[in-house]
Amino acid sequence: MKRIGVLTSGGDAPGMNAAIRAVVRGAIYNDMIPYGIKRGYEGLIDGDLYEMNASSVSDIMQRGGTILKTARSQRFMTEDGQKRAMGILKTFGIDGLVIIGGDGSMTGGLQLAKEGINIMGLPGTIDNDLAYTEYTIGFDTAVNTVLSALGNVRDTSSSHERTTVIEVMGRHCGDIAIYAGLTGGAEIILTPEREVDVDAICRKMIQGRNRGRLHNIIMKAEGVDISTEDLVTQIQDRTGMETKPVVLGYIQRGGSPTAKDRMLASRMGYRAVELLRDGTRCQAIGIRGAEIINMDIETALKLERRTNEELLALADILSI
């Protein structure tokens, strides 16, 4: 029987457990033996893996994080680490590997693909920063978590007639800020893809104040090239309006996945199993429109992400 491995790597994301469940149960259904690899590539190097069965993934769908644990492995970046990882896969007779993680994790997998392992990449990251897929697993949950936080911040911001700068995650990608900012009615959205114009921000705030708007929510992605602290100081100095920072941090990475993320993870996980079963080589799994798609993983990772200009423009219009 074919043996396949599954691991989660990089930052955890809500929905990773649903993806693991789909891979494990999908593999069993298709007469394959699934192995769970702990702590991503770290566990692979250390041989920290175990055979999974249908019950290994019971009651995990609703849980945030990843039951397999995760890591950002420095050792796997070395030739020695890659050799060891390859050795473990050979020893256990595993020739297919499902990698649930971001672009760094998938890129790491290419080293194993060169040695003959059939790798499948599932986009597991809250950042939504992979060009080949419209959505990544965990993004929707993170956006909803930010949205809920934004609502709370708005209550107090409005009561005290203050401006609040909410910093959200996303690394170099502004999607969490755009989606949560647009749906939460933020007055200003700042993303790494667009240059920050502090004068324009202050102008908008002052014009708003002259019309009677006494509080503002500024949604700022972490990748923007001005620190939240500096931004708050500059705004306060120029407008004289009290401004506070809120850095949401890891709150965004945890929590029970939304139905959308669970569905995405289940569909993508099962697609990965089907591709391994059929012997299709080295694919990245994604979604476009309502369709689950797969494409050559190397090609997928080379695609360049475009800023969501349309949503940013809409957010600007709706927050006049």
From the candidates 127, 129, 175, 261, which is the catalytic residue? 127
Nearest to 183 by CA among 247, 239, 139: 139
Query: Exactly one of 70, 125, 164, 258 binds ligand F6P (CB under 6 A); which one?
Result: 125
CA–chain centroid gap for 319, Å, is: 26
- In DSSP notation, 271-318 reads HHHHHHHHT--SEEEEEETTEEEEEEHHHHHHPPP---HHHHHHHHHH
Q: Is the dihedral of CA 34, 39, 45, 49 positive or negative?
A: negative
Residue 126 engages ligand F6P in binding (rule: CB under 6 A): yes
CB neighbour class for 190 (10 Å; exposed up to 12, middle 13-18, buried from 19): buried
Tell which positions 283-302 bind ligand F6P, by CB under 6 A. Answer: none
Residue 64 engages ligand F6P in binding (rule: CB under 6 A): no
Distance of closest approach, residue 128 Cβ to ligand F6P, in angstroms: 10
> Between 221 and 285, whose beta carbon lies closer to ligand F6P?
221
> Between 47 and 254, whose beta carbon lies closer to ligand F6P?
254
> Between 167 and 187, whose beta carbon lies closer to ligand F6P?
167
> Between 102 and 208, whose beta carbon lies closer to ligand F6P?
102
Residue 169 engages ligand F6P in binding (rule: CB under 6 A): yes
> Between 140 and 222, whose beta carbon lies closer to ligand F6P?
222
Residue 192 engages ligand F6P in binding (rule: CB under 6 A): no
- In DSSP notation, 201-253 reads HHHHHHHHHHTT---EEEEEETTSSS-HHHHHHHHHHHH---EEEEE-GGGGG
Query: Exactly one of 5, 170, 184, 257 binds ligand F6P (CB under 6 A); which one?
Result: 170
Instruction: State the DSSP H helix or E strand holding residue 101, giving kind and residue range, or none if neither.
Output: strand 94-101
Instruction: Tell me which stretch binds ligand F6P (CB under 6 A): 84-92, 121-129, 186-194, 277-285.
Output: 121-129
Measured between alpha carbons, how far is residue 153 from residues 158, 182, 197 in Å?
8, 15, 24
Total number of residues that touch ligand F6P (CB under 6 A) = 11
One-letter amino acid of 277: R
Distance CA 128, CA 140 (A): 9
The token pair at 128 is 């939504």
Distance of closest approach, residue 253 Cβ to ligand F6P, in angstroms: 5
Instruction: Tell me which stretch binds ligand F6P (CB under 6 A): 85-93, 123-131, 193-201, 268-276.
Output: 123-131
> Between 5 and 101, whose beta carbon lies closer to ligand F6P?
101
Phi/psi of residue 219, nearest 5 degrees: -95, 115
Distance of closest approach, residue 82 Cβ to ligand F6P, in angstroms: 21
Site string for ligand F6P, 235-274 (x = CB under 6 A): ------------------x---------------------
In the numeric block, the tokens 């920063």 are attached to: 129
Residue 127 engages ligand F6P in binding (rule: CB under 6 A): yes
For the question of residue 127 being annotated catalytic, the response is yes
Are 276 and 4 spatial neighbours (Cβ–Cβ below 8 Å)? Answer: yes
Measured between alpha carbons, how far is residue 221 from residues 157, 193, 310 in Å?
19, 10, 17
Residue 219 engages ligand F6P in binding (rule: CB under 6 A): no
Distance of closest approach, residue 79 Cβ to ligand F6P, in angstroms: 24
Catalytic residues: 127
Residues in contact with ligand F6P by the rule CB under 6 A: 11, 72, 102, 125-127, 169-171, 222, 253
